[in-house]
Amino acid sequence: MRNKARVAVAVALLVSLFIGLPVVDAQTRTKIKYGLGDVLTTDDLQLLIAVERAKARGVDVEVIPLKSEELATQAVINGQVDMGQGTPYAAIQKVNVPVRFIYQLYALQFFPVVNKEFYKSWKDLDGQEITVHARGSGTEAIMNLMAKQHGIKYKNISFVPGSQVRAIGLLRGNIKASILDSTNWNFVQKEAPGKFMVLPMGSVSASDESIFATKAFLDKNRDAVNIFVEELLRVNREINANPKSVAAERKKLGLMKDLPAKLEGEITPYFEDAAKNGIFSENGGGEAAAKSDLEFYTLSGQLKGDNLKIEDFWDMGPLKAAYSKMGFKK
């Protein structure tokens, strides 16, 4: 048996030399269940690339699409998944289970869009219905903040996950006021020129979606989490340096193989736009994002209290470990 084991190890080492991948003992691998509060789209390719690279280093991240950010948050709190994606600041403040953010996936880059036939200003939305992504999402926070700033109150807030779904709702007339990402705002303009307009937001800086986990999980799996965050940061920096790299890596890694040609053609324009608008932080968010988030989510009403502390919401350890290897971008 010992001789067979030695032969197996020798073969594995030889294979690793030929294909250029590290040998990772199955017993040393760490599994991470990652709850995505939405369906997977091409916008998530930077996450999926980091996932594949983390796997090559012994960290098996399993991405599990859930119906909403709210479900992803509950799944983390209840221990059904290990990590979640979203901005559940209010939930983190309320629950007894310590949860911490570790990485900013996207900075806010959204457009409040209205049908010009019905609305032309924020004041016109007083007493009207609006549609956002999900309860507790960055889109809801933006719309609540705008309501406060303009002294209005919505009749109702409907939750429709997926910017593309909301864009189609606007085009079909089922939705008259919503909030879209840049890709779908461009899509709406192309499909119905002059029918819609964007309401001004002023200067809004905060996280749209970040990665979070319980403090217990982070403390227990520090090395694996550090590897995952390092790969996420590496992908961010590659995108900002060359947005075309996403499409190339997708083909190299065999991601989303059944993607229709039309959607395939939208990958590079989306990431070029995202890089231009600073959606992907060169430092994974970090302390700058945490400070902006506390201010933004307090103003929008999701967070309560004064003198909130970053350490009560963020664990900077994984990002600092990444900076020690990859440097901090100024």
Q: Is residue 58 part of a domain?
A: yes
pLDDT tens digits for range 270-325: 999 899 989 999 999 999 999 999 999 998 888 999 899 999 999 999 999 999 99
Write out the two tokens for 96: 């007894």
Number of domains the chain is built from: 2
Q: What pLDDT shows up at residue 183?
A: 81
Share of the chain above pLDDT 70, in %: 92
CATH number, domain of 150, equals 3.40.190.10
In this structure, the answer to whether residues 148 and 296 fall within a common structural domain is no
> Quick one: 172 and 45 in the same domain?
no
Residue 22 pLDDT = 47
Note whether 44 and 157 are same-domain residues: no
Q: Which domain holds residue 90?
A: 22-108+206-326
Q: Angle formed by the axes of helices 245-253 and 45-56, to 10°?
A: 50
Q: Which pLDDT band holds residue 4 (cuts at 50, 70, 90)? A: very low
Task: Point out which residues pair with 207 in neighbouring strands.
Answer: 107
Strands 156-159 and 129-132: parallel
Residue 125 lies in a domain: yes
Arithmetic mean of pLDDT, 88-99? 92
Residues 92 and 116 in one domain: no
With H, G, I as helix, E, B as strand and everything else as coil, classify residue 179. strand
% of the chain at pLDDT higher than 90:
74
pLDDT at 231 over 90: yes
- In this predicted structure, the answer to whether residue 15 has a pLDDT above a threshold of 50 is no
φ and ψ at residue 189, rounded to 5 degrees: -65, -40
104 and 116, same domain (yes or no): no
Q: Going by DSSP bridges, is the β-strand pair 156-159/196-198 parallel, antiparallel, or unpaired? A: unpaired
| pLDDT confidence band for 9 (50 / 70 / 90) | very low
The reply to whether 52 and 140 lie within a common domain is no
pLDDT of residue 198: 96
Q: Of 11-20, 119-128, 138-147, where does mean pLDDT reach its minimum?
A: 11-20
Residue where one domain finishes, among candidates 137, 172, 198:
198
Using the 3D structure, point to which of 172, 198, 224 is the last residue of a domain.
Answer: 198
Residues 100 and 237 in one domain: yes
Q: Among 162, 178, 198, which residue terminates a domain?
A: 198
Determine, yes or no, domain membership for 5: no
pLDDT tier at 23 (50, 70, 90 boundaries)? Answer: very low
Instruction: Tell me: do 214 and 83 sit in the same domain.
Output: yes
Q: Say if 4 falls within a structural domain.
A: no
77 lies in the same domain as 217: yes
Residue 239 lies in a domain: yes
Check whether 20 has a pLDDT greater than 60: no
What pLDDT does residue 165 have? 94
Q: Does residue 38 sit within a domain?
A: yes
On whether residue 7 sits in a domain, the answer given is no
**H-state helical runs in the chain:** 2-19, 45-56, 69-77, 89-94, 138-150, 163-172, 182-191, 215-220, 222-241, 245-253, 261-264, 267-276, 286-299, 317-326
Judge whether residue 151 has pLDDT over 90.
yes
Does the pLDDT of residue 181 top 90, yes or no? no
Asked whether residue 17 is assigned to any structural domain, the reply reads no
pLDDT band at 19 (very low <50, low <70, confident <90, very high): very low
193 and 95 assigned to the same domain: no
pLDDT, average across residues 130-156: 92
Query: How confident is the model at residue 27, as a pLDDT?
Result: 56
Residues 38 and 126 in one domain: no
| Confidence class for position 10, pLDDT limits 50, 70, 90 | very low
Kindly list the strands in the beta sheet with 156-159, ordered across the sheet, starting from the edge strand earlier in the chain: 156-159, 129-132, 177-181, 110-115, 196-198
Name which residue leads in pLDDT, 114 or 109. 114
Across the chain, mean pLDDT equals 90
For 247-257, the pLDDT digits (tens) are 999 999 999 99
Predicted confidence (pLDDT) at residue 191 exceeds the cutoff of 70: yes
Q: Are residues 124 and 240 in the same domain?
A: no
